[in-house]
Amino acid sequence: MLDISSRVRVHVETLLAAQNDMGVCDAFQQYAPARKPDAMNAPHPPKVAGTDPTIPPPAHTAAPVPGPPPVPAPGGPAPGALLQDRLAGWVSDLTTLHELTERLARTRTLDAALQELLRAGAALVGARRGLVVLESGDAPGPGTTVGLGLARADLGHIETVPRGALPYGRLLDTAAGLPGGEGEIVHPDLFADDGLDPRHREVAARLGYAASYALPLTTEATGRLGAAVWLYDEPAEPHERRRHLVGLYVRYATEHLARLTELEYTRACMTTIAEELLPSRLPRVTGVQLAARHRTGPRGGGDWYDALPLPDAALGLAVGSVTGSGPSAVAAMGRLRASLRAYAVMEGEDPVAVLSDLELLLRLTEPARSATALFAYCEPALRKVTLAGAGHSPPLLIGERRTEFVETSVSAPLGMLACWEAPSVEFETEPGETVLLYTDGLLHRTGDPMDRAFARLHAAAAGVPRTLRRDPGAVADHVLRTVLPDGLDMEDGTEDVVLLAARFD
């Protein structure tokens, strides 16, 4: 006689062991079949002196083999088939969770992760629309609200409902959204709820949803991060198995969102610090118009620019880049820029002396760091420019009759040689011509070899429309968008980008 129960028991134990190895066995304990020892097949110790002591089996022995299953009713499914269906369900759930978490892990921005959370959650609970609200009590700044299948106007209507009447408001403002709290808020039929807020009823009727299911975005490690709500077009609610799966998914998603939130906050802080170390506004000098554009990388880089009035109605222009990225590079950039301003005020008419002093300071105070820099001493009344560069890309002269790179001497970056010195270059501009200074990040972000990147930059400058040439800001924007097309100028890149344009009247 075929022992179906023994075979099924072996497969169940094998699956549970594999699930324990994968760390997700606890996710499916509720589906584990109950098993009771069979008293008829249990070993009986011998009776001694008329007693029948109960001696537990040793811990290392195998569990008793359960007895045969009950005889199914005629025409009903066999027990083995039922367990096989249950096993297939577990494997399907594991596969689904694995695929969804893998897709979520591939997101690199907070917005993309929120959209992926809403889409995956909607598929798990069987909804069509939803929204997620990030509102951590620890992170500064306003909350973030993202919708799935909801336009901005729809989100605006939802925000007119009193906060305490909305599921996410209850999760965020009460202990329900904390670890160990209520955990979920289910409204299977909003319009059948006599206690529903009148404004909530009006908004639900306007937007066409009749039920909702909400979960907090919270874990023991991250605390309360926000809440997610999925909306149903008809009265409905997810069954127990769907709730269990979406709960596991949201737990992982919360940890991923917490990491991305911290990363975005760090990036914002680095961008703010870098911007504060650069000029808050450019000076106004007779005979010249100035404009600057700056794009900071995600980790914060050391590219900088400066423009400062000098004695005798002169103007000093500078761009540079410090090696490395992160807080240390940003701090070094601030120190270098402040030092160059001091040297420019004292001896700005000699750009070689300014860069020589800067190189000596860098070599003595930060011997492990190098930097590139370019300093130009401008006399707007004469439209004359005297400049010197240390390992920096040459400026670009843009005019009606010519678009060309300024010939500068080849020189090593600051901090690379025991004693830096290079000859300066002097040239004059025509009325209406623009001198464009930039950092190497503009060229590196193209992804092209340097010769092709220089050619792309030259073509972009030569193609500036005549109607834009009177505005140095428009010239810089056109060059930036042309060299880095398809929005690459606004995306985060590994390199900082700086452009400083000076148009001489």
Task: Tell me the per-residue pLDDT of 70-123, one tens digit each, with 9 for 90 and over.
Answer: 555 555 566 678 888 878 878 888 898 999 999 999 998 899 999 999 999 999
Residue 58 in this model has a pLDDT that exceeds 80: no
Assigned token pair, 348: 């700005």
Question: 150 pLDDT exceeds 80?
Answer: yes
Q: Domain 91-269 has what CATH class?
A: alpha beta
Condensed to tens digits (0 to 9), the pLDDT of residues 394-451 reads 999 999 999 999 988 778 898 887 676 778 999 999 999 999 999 998 998 888 999 9
d(Cα 217, Cα 104) in Å, to the nearest integer?
A: 15
Q: Name the one residue in this structure whose structure tokens are 């917005």.
A: 111
Let me know: does 212 contact 229? Beta carbons within 8 Å: yes
**Token digits for 381?**
């009344």
Q: Which residue has the tokens 């202990």?
A: 175
Summarised one tens digit per residue, pLDDT across range 292-318 is: 999 877 666 789 999 999 999 999 999
**CA gap 204, 53 in Å, rounded:** 68
CATH 3.60.40.10 for the 278-504 domain, yes or no: yes
What does pTM read for this prediction?
Answer: 0.63
> What is the predicted pLDDT for the residue at 457?
96
Q: Is the dihedral of CA 363, 364, 367, 373 positive or negative?
A: negative
- Whole-number Å distance between alpha carbons of 386 and 376: 6
pLDDT of 468 strictly over 80: yes
pLDDT at 247: 93
Strand-pairing partners, residue 129, are 231
Q: Enumerate the domain spans of the chain.
A: 91-269, 278-504
Structure tokens belonging to residue 445: 């972000």
d(CA 252, CA 217): 10
* Whether pLDDT at 179 is above 80: no
* Cα separation, 251 vs 120, whole angstroms: 13
